[in-house]
Homo-oligomer: A and B are copies of this chain.
Amino acid sequence: MIGRLNHVAIAVPDLEAASEQYRTALGAKVNPPQDEPDHGVTVVFIELPNTKIELLYPLGDNSPILGFLEKNPSGGIHHVCYEVDDILAARDQLKANGLRVLGNGEPKIGAHGKPVLFLHPKDMNGTLVELEQV
């Protein structure tokens, strides 16, 4: 069912410094920051040849990243995102296997403008997993 790894998201305490580090020290292709007010994050995409790294920084007072950075002041890997062809079929298969979907169980429109769901980290080896329909 799951397809490509769409991205790995890393929450960072200083978006400018992290972007510059990936650009200069690691020599990666780093895109300009994009504000995603609906998701409470500012995002920088780092393009690798086979996938993306998504640097996340809080935007606004209700950002879902604020609590994560309080617990992890240096930053840390926040989630991985797997692609699926049909997010409703994926959800139903996962629920049938006892996995919990976060929120009300209905897909939302994610940062890439496509339907996404998140799975409960406790059900997924402590890993927050996003599914994105592509």
- Residues of chain A touching chain B, judged by Cβ–Cβ distance below 8 Å, are 1-5, 8, 10-13, 18, 21, 24-28, 48-51, 53, 55, 72-77, 80, 82, 93-94, 97-99, 121-122, 124-127
* Structural contact, B93 and A27, CB atoms closer than 8 A: yes
Chain B neighbourhood of A21, CB < 8 A: 97, 99, 124
Identical copies of this chain, number? 2
Q: Known: A26-B2, A28-B2. Is A125-B18 also a contact (CB below 8 A)?
A: yes
- Closest B residue to A49 by CB, please name it: B4
A108 → B minimal CB distance (Å):
20
Chain B neighbourhood of A28, CB < 8 A: 1-2
* Structural contact, A3 and B127, CB atoms closer than 8 A: no
